Amino acid sequence: MPRIVILSASVRQGRASHRVALYLEQYLTGTADIELDLIDLNSYSFPVFEERFKFQEDPSPSVREFVHRMAAADGIIIVTPEYNGGYPASLKNVIDLLVDEWKRKPVAVCTVSGGAFGGTQVITSLLFTLWKIKAWVVNAHLPVPKVEEAFTPEGLPLDPEGWTKRTKPFVNELLWAVEARKRME
């Protein structure tokens, strides 16, 4: 059974993009035969990056745990907010922390914004960074505009049919890549 991580990147007080992470958790557990792990960066309170995990002499238990969860993933869905046309420092902080764990790891990106464009401006910078770190970013994107009007704090969509229609191909593309990678091992 593939293990999928949802990486919820916002650590902002009063954040709303985590609603989408909760929605995806519910969607995936309800529709796919997978093992799911929702990693909430807000629960870690990591310090600003000082060195990559593999070069840290005495990594903290929480860093060790985070790296273990990421390494165990067969595929990752990143749920990121858009801040000033980019992705948050909290996300860059953990992308840089890992090296080999990203290599050829299937990754799908979900961008979330308060505005009308669904965080699409994040894509250019985030995809480039993920490409540099050698992740396998799948050709599917789930943009979520006006998040507070679209999802309740519990992650329930106000338009369930519409979101299923958009989420299904997004998730399927990731699961295809996860299966393809497994066959190459």
Ligand X SMILES: Cc1cc2nc3c(=O)[nH]c(=O)nc-3n(C[C@H](O)[C@H](O)[C@H](O)COP(=O)(O)O)c2cc1C
Q: Interface residues with ligand X (CB under 6 A)?
A: 10, 12, 15-17, 81-85, 112-115, 147
83 and 11 Cβ atoms separated by less than 8 Å: no
If the CB atoms of residues 20 and 177 are measured against ligand X, the closer one turns out to be: 20
Neighbouring CB atoms inside 10 A of 153's CB total 10
CB burial string 22-59: b at 16+ within 10 A, e below: bbbbebbeeebebebbbbbbeebeeeeeeeebeeeeeb
Q: Which residue sits closest to ligand X, CB atoms considered?
A: 115
Least distance in angstroms from the C-beta of 89 to ligand X: 10
Least distance in angstroms from the C-beta of 40 to ligand X: 11
- Kindly list the distances between the CA atom of residue 21 and the CA atoms of 18, 139, 177, in Å, as whole numbers in the listed order: 5, 19, 20
Least distance in angstroms from the C-beta of 31 to ligand X: 24
End-to-end CA gap in the chain:
15
If the CB atoms of residues 27 and 151 are measured against ligand X, the closer one turns out to be: 151
If the CB atoms of residues 10 and 167 are measured against ligand X, the closer one turns out to be: 10
If the CB atoms of residues 83 and 176 are measured against ligand X, the closer one turns out to be: 83
Query: What angle separates helix 122-132 from helix 89-97, to the nearest 10 degrees?
Result: 10
If the CB atoms of residues 2 and 118 are measured against ligand X, the closer one turns out to be: 118
Least distance in angstroms from the C-beta of 104 to ligand X: 29
CA dihedral sign, ordered 126, 131, 135, 138: positive
Least distance in angstroms from the C-beta of 18 to ligand X: 6
